[in-house]
A and B are shown apart, each in its own frame.
Chain A
Amino acid sequence: MEPLVQFFYILLPFLRDWPEWLALTVIGIVAALLMFGFVAIFALFAIWLERKVSAHMQDRIGPMEVGGWHGWAQTIADTIKLLVKEDIVPENADRILFKLAPAIVFTAALAGFAVLPWTQDFIPADLNVGLLYILSVSSFAVIGILMGGWASNNKWSLYGAMRSASQMVSYEIPVALALLAVVMNAGTLSMRHLVMAQSGNILDWNVFNFFPLTAVAFIIYFVASLAEVNRTPFDLPEGESELVGGFHTEYSGMRFAFFFLGEYANMYVVSAIATTVFLGGWLPPFEFLSFIPGPIWFVGKAMTMVFIQMWLRWTLPRLRVDQLMYTCWKVLTPFSFAIILLIGLWKVI
């Protein structure tokens, strides 16, 4: 039985008396709503954090007014503003595709949450191909972006969408290869088992495995995942300074908000994958810290990764398209192949 279903049965024993299909539906809906709620709250918090981080890195202070303490309610106010804004669809846009695109991008991001192992027992779906699943659904987002860019009937949008397609498709490869380096050793694709294989203290985590080979794989994964989720320095698909807003130039109101939500959800998903695969998931770094529950470790590590993403964003300028491709094909991909090869040799010898 799925760990999640068991978890709910333990939590709410009366579910056992219900017919199974009803119980499963209810559990599914509740879990989906939980995830959606988490994404929404995370996005609200992360956008606020990003503004604060960017402000302080530039010696400013960022939002200070709304909500009192350091403007914590600023993003809530912004969300309400976006919710009540007029929903504009350009006259010559392909209406159906235009309206569908943000939904697809967001769904792809949310689908990734299905296999994140928050703790040993709370993992919405413990697929035995969890990692493969997450890689597949996250590359689904490119369809949404391409769709939005194409349907907008706007040159900037189309440029952004084309860039995004080439970028995301190229960077899938180093992402997958870097993860493969770990999977080869662990011998499983299940997110839960990947974490369980790292139990022990901090030195048993995969980053420190085969030192320094997996550490390099971790860096490769991190860089490539930045490109996957269109974050600076790889934010060419959006490129405010050259493409207005890239693929979401024509979007406004709630649809724009969904693109944004999707972007931030994706940030969390890639950080969570890094946490699961390289940084020991819900496990504490030292045995004596295990009184702190797993989800806190998991979210804490993922948030640290998210913070590093922001840190990089406010440090580096945007890459040129040719530099982007150079980094992917001539640096990251060969290095990840070399790492796979070396780890393979290490294991054989």
Chain B
Amino acid sequence: MKQYFKNIYEAIATILVGMGVTWRHLFTRAVTVQYPHVKRELPERSRMQLFVDMDDCIGCMQCQRACPVDCIDIKTIRAGKEEDLGEAGNGTKKKLHVVQFYIDMAKCCYCADCVFPCPTGAIRMTPEYEFITYDRSSLLINFSQYSDEERAALEERERKEKEAQAAAKAARLKAAEEAKKTAAAQKDESKSE
């Protein structure tokens, strides 16, 4: 019997205590941040969208090799001997045309592993995180500053160079073969004498 009344007393008392708590919270300041209107300051070194400063990129492909999910796809073309592509921010000479620099942000896992190996600090994380799109393919970003025509021209040039090289090599090989043959013939001749 005593327990019964004690229970009732405790029920009422604890309900009142609970109501007091909620009443106090009714007037405490809300912690909500009204997101699109108010943006919270991001922590230092937060990892969001990637950015590549192509003026600095020397096309060394360190980032592509470091990426664990293979979402960076770089294509480079060697610069000609007389061409001067300028220097990266830290003074490294640029020797390659970076004709393609894809980063697929849909695949990226924001590990920032590509950022650290970069010798010139060209690739880096930005605090930009609102890059939602309606189409997954628009998350594939090409940072290269070469237009399609320029790229085609450079590729054409490289192809020609390669062809020329191949031709030269073939010629060299042929010449070597000839030389070998004539040498052998001479040997035969001297033997038969």
Residues of A within 8 A of B (CB): 53, 55-61, 64, 311-312, 314-316, 330-331
Contact = CB atoms under 8 A, between A and B. Distances in A.
A55 B18 contact: no
Contact of B28 (A59, A64, A314): A59
Interface string B14-45: 01001101110111111110100000000000
Given A53-B26, A56-B25, A331-B8, A61 B19 contact: no
Contacts of B23: 311
B29 A314 contact: no
A59 B8 contact: no
Contact of A64 (B25, B31, B34): B34
Interface residues of B, number: 17
A66 to B, nearest CB: 14
A315 B29 contact: no
Nearest to B23: A311
A315 B26 contact: no
A322 B67 CA distance: 59
* Majority DSSP secondary structure for residues of B touching A: helix
Contacts of A57: 22, 25-26
A312 B19 CA distance: 7
Contacts of B34: 61, 64
Contact of B19 (A55, A59, A311, A331): A311
Interface of B: 4, 8, 15, 18-19, 21-23, 25-32, 34
A311 B24 CA distance: 12
A61 B87 CA distance: 54
Nearest to A334: B4
A315 B32 contact: no
B21 A59 contact: no
B30 A314 contact: no
A315 B28 contact: no
A65 to B, nearest CB: 9
Nearest to B28: A59
28 contacts: A53-B26, A56-B25, A56-B26, A56-B27, A57-B25, A57-B26, A58-B25, A59-B25, A59-B28, A59-B29, A59-B31, A59-B32, A60-B31, A60-B32, A61-B32, A61-B34, A311-B19, A311-B22, A311-B23, A312-B15, A314-B22, A315-B15, A315-B18, A315-B19, A315-B21, A315-B22, A330-B4, A331-B8
B8 A61 contact: no
Nearest to A58: B25
A56 B30 CA distance: 7
B186 to A, nearest CB: 96
Nearest to A308: B19
Nearest to B33: A61
A312 B11 CA distance: 13
Contacts of A312: 15, 19
A217 to B, nearest CB: 15
A-B interface, 9 closest residue pairs, ranked by CB to CB distance from nearest: A61-B30, A315-B22, A315-B18, A57-B22, A61-B32, A56-B26, A57-B25, A315-B19, A60-B32
Contacts of B18: 315-316
Nearest to B34: A64
